Structure 1
Amino acid sequence: MKGPDVSVVICVYTEDRWEDILAAVASVRAQSHPALETLLVVDHNPALKDRLAREYKETAEVRVLANTGPRGLSAGRNTGIAASRGEIVAFLDDDAAAERHWLKHFTSGYADPRVMAVGGRTVPVWASGRRPVWFPEEFDWVVGCTYRGLPTGRVRVRNVLGGNASFRRTAFDMAGGFATGIGRDGDRRPLGCEETELCIRLTRARPDALLLIDDRAVIHHRVPEVREHFAYFRTRAYAEGLSKALVARSVGAGKGLESERRYTTRVLPAGVARGLRDALLARPGGAARAGAIVAGVCAAAGGYVVGSVRARRGGAAFGVAPVARIDEGSLGEADE
């Protein structure tokens, strides 16, 4: 059985990741379940767009598009969704490479018509060659990877993680696209949670929708050296708090913080205890990992408080628009 057609969207923004982008595209082209197309959406960088267009000029299944919305990851993804032709739209980070059966495991999840999204497992590839001894696995979300505390196997979840995820194309017809004004914007403050907000909107639009994570759908995500330092860890945790405040403002704290309550009351205390136990057993980095968890919680909590105050004063800082297909006559404009 062939399975549904998949459009893969890779959002790119800088030539500094040139080799990573080529590796990401190569990993999609090597899939056991072939992608219908790969859409490279370039975020307001004409030089990069022209270079990619030359690189893939003779490659029919790879299309290079300009982000037609405001600068940022959310608008780039929406551009890719609008131009996509597949029944399923998958997203891959521009500095990640997918394992060969990535799309095979994604598509198998859609046998149930209630399934609207399937995410996967993201494994860090540390620039230094190994995980920093102080860096707790409970905070791997800081570097865009699957973290300790997420369920294993193929399980139902509140939201998938955006850099390794797929959605039915009809999900965007029901819920709209990714919210702009939230999430990544090039190298600015590392905000996030745009996929969380979308998934909550989706399940509100269709209460019987199932959102899954299948940890067999694996990608390997490069972690640059600058993100292995505590300064980035603290900044990213603070930015996550800001983002959670926006999400809670949009969809309510009940749903917006549902998973986070379990994470902070169960997963993180267990991580602190594990770190302290390792310290007592003279294992490297145990006390540092416990301290990093506490510092990360404090940074995220501080960001949430600041973000909540800002949201109350200024209202929601992002908007959601429907995502329509780009018809064949418009594809030339999107490619220019």
Structure 2
Amino acid sequence: MRVSVVLCTHTLERYDAFTEAAESVLAQSHDDTELVLVSDGSTAVFERFEDDFGGRDDVVTHCNDENVGLLESRNNGAEVATGDVVAFIDDDAVADPDWVAELVEAYDHRDALAAGGKMVPEWVAGRPTFLPEEFYFLVGVTQRGFADGPGEVRNTFGSNISFRRDVFLELGGFDSEIGGRKGDENLQGGETELCARLRESYDAGVYYNPDARVAHKVFEYRTDPRWLLDRAFWQGYSKRGMEVLVPASTGEEYDFLGQLLGEFVPQRARDLVTGPSVEKAVQFLMLFVFTAAVGCGYCYGATKW
């Protein structure tokens, strides 16, 4: 089974990180892996692609005519790919050597139409001790409570998700109007919307394999409490947007909220009483702070949608 991994970027500012992502794909243990590099409208980036990776049989390069955003760039990458499966990874991520092989297992043995895996943190500037694992999704990392183990979920992170290419193209790919910042508003959820259409058209979700691991680089600015609170706010706004645009897509968020308040908060309260520490106390407090920020974003979204 041939797997095409689409990797997009639009600037040379983080080209070193991008190169590490590309090399992690080229080092996969699965033999039939193709790397599709998409420059989002930058000829300078495309020229570096050609200099660094041009001429390889396992690499395809493409340059958008103009800057169209990540989701449309991914769609363009899937169009030029030649694999049976198209997978996606971000330019600030590093794939485990067996990542593609673990995704292929879902297609070969689970008859999956889509498959994804676990995002793990690579703390570039150190782990922020105030950030509870329940809110790791704010930094693009699989959070505590996401899934008990392998099995079907609604969707995984966009930096660790894949689809049978014919299914992806039949669905029309990502809706480029969903994701990305527009003015002061940051609507997130391109993967959620696409996977809702997958469910509607094929009655199938994404097979989650936690052994298909991708590390996400968490740069220092993403550990700033103000950045995280802003991110939490727009996450809430996006939940409301998805609720309106794709009514059947938000059940997992309500399940997680119930698990957070009914299971994780009591557990953390007991741990704080039996083994008190400053870190535990701060994280316990931040559970409520981040929940409130998400709630404020949701309420703001309710005035817009």
Give the TM-score, by structure 2 length: 0.92
1:25 aligns with 2:22: yes
Cα distance 1:152–1:16, how it changes in 2: closer, same or farther (>3 A)?
farther
1:124 pairs with 2:121: yes
Question: In the aligned structure 1, how far is the partner of 2:259 from the partner of 2:67?
Answer: 39
Contact 2:198–2:205, Cα closer than 8 Å, also in 1:
no
**d(CA) in 2 for partners of 1:241, 1:304:** 4
CA distance in 2, matches of 1:231, 1:95: 21
Q: Deviations over 1:121-157 (max 9, x none)?
A: 111011223x211101011111111110011432111
* Contact 1:152-1:215 at 8 Å conserved across structures: no
Relative distance call for 1:309 and 1:97 in structure 2 (3 A) is same
Change in CA separation of 1:57 and 1:173 when aligned onto 2, cut-off 3 Å:
closer
Contact 2:119 2:157 in 1 (8 A): no
Counterpart residue number, 1:199: 195
Q: Secondary structure at the match of 2:191?
A: helix
Q: Percent identity?
A: 34
Counterpart in 1 of 2:175?
A: 179
Gaps of 5+ in 1: 312-336
Secondary structure, aligned partner of 1:60: coil
Q: Please, which of 282, 291, 297 is the counterpart of residue 303 of structure 1?
A: 297
Give, in whole Å, the separation in 2 of the partners of 1:52 and 1:36. 18
1:69–1:75 Cα contact (<8 Å) kept = no
Matches within 5 A, 1:308-319: 308-311=302-305
**What is the DSSP-based 3-state SS (H/G/I as helix, E as strand, rest coil) of the residue aligned with 1:231?**
helix
Q: 2:256 aligns with which of 263, 287, 294?
A: 263
- Cα separation, partners in 2 of 1:78 and 1:185, compared to 1, 3 Å: farther
Partners of 2:19 and 2:138 in 1: CA distance = 24
Following TM superposition, by how much is the alpha carbon of 1:240 offset from its aligned partner in structure 2, in angstroms? Answer: 1.1
1:174 shift after superposition? 3.4
Change beyond 3 A, Cα 1:197–1:67: same
Q: How far is 1:105 from its partner? A: 0.7
**Given that residues 71 and 185 in structure 1 are in contact (C-alpha distance below 8 angstroms), is that contact kept between their aligned partners in structure 2?**
no
CA distance in 2, matches of 1:295, 1:198: 30
CA gap of 1:187–1:67, structure 2 versus 1, over 3 A, is farther
Q: 1:191 to 1:232 in 2, by over 3 A?
A: farther
Deviation at residue 38 of structure 1 after TM alignment: 0.6
Asked if 1:238 is matched to 2:233, the reply is yes
Shift of 1:114: 4.6
In the TM superposition, residue 267 of structure 1 has moved relative to its aligned partner by 2.6
> What does residue 314 of structure 1 align with?
none
**Cα pair distance change 1:186/1:103, threshold 3 Å:** farther
Match of 1:101 among 98, 101, 104: 98
**Pairwise CA distance, 1:283:** 2.1
1:154 aligns with one of 139, 150, 157: 150
Query: Which residue of structure 2 lines up, in the alignment, with residue 213 of structure 1?
Result: 208
The Cα shift of 1:183 comes to 2.1
CA spacing shift, 1:187–1:88, aligned 2, 3 Å: farther
CA gap 1:152/1:15 in 2 versus in 1, 3 angstroms: farther
Whether 2:134 is the aligned partner of 1:138: answer yes
SS of 2:266 mapped into structure 1: helix
Partner Cα distance (1:153, 1:188) in 2: 37
CA apart distance, 1:70:
5.6
User: 3-state SS of the aligned residue for 2:155?
Assistant: coil
Q: Deviations over 1:301-329 (max 9, x none)?
A: 22222223222xxxxxxxxxxxxxxxxxx
Distance 1:137 1:180, change over 3 A: same
Q: Number of paired residues? A: 304
Q: Which residue of 1 aligns with 2:74?
A: 77
The alpha-carbon distance between structure 1 residues 15 and 277, as it changes in their structure 2 partners (threshold 3 A), is farther
Listed as ranges, the gaps of 5+ residues in structure 2 are none
1:223-270 per-residue CA deviation (whole Å, 9 max, x = no partner) reads 000001111111111111222222222221xx2210011100113453
Q: Distance in 2 between matches of 1:90 and 1:166?
A: 4
Q: Which residue of 2 aligns with 1:282?
A: 276
Distance 1:162 1:108, change over 3 A: same
Amino acid in structure 2 at the alignment position of 1:161: F
How far apart are residue 190 of structure 1 and its match?
5.6
C-alpha distance in 2 between matches for 1:191 and 1:55: 34
The 1:31–1:49 alpha-carbon spacing in structure 2 relative to 1, beyond 3 Å, is same
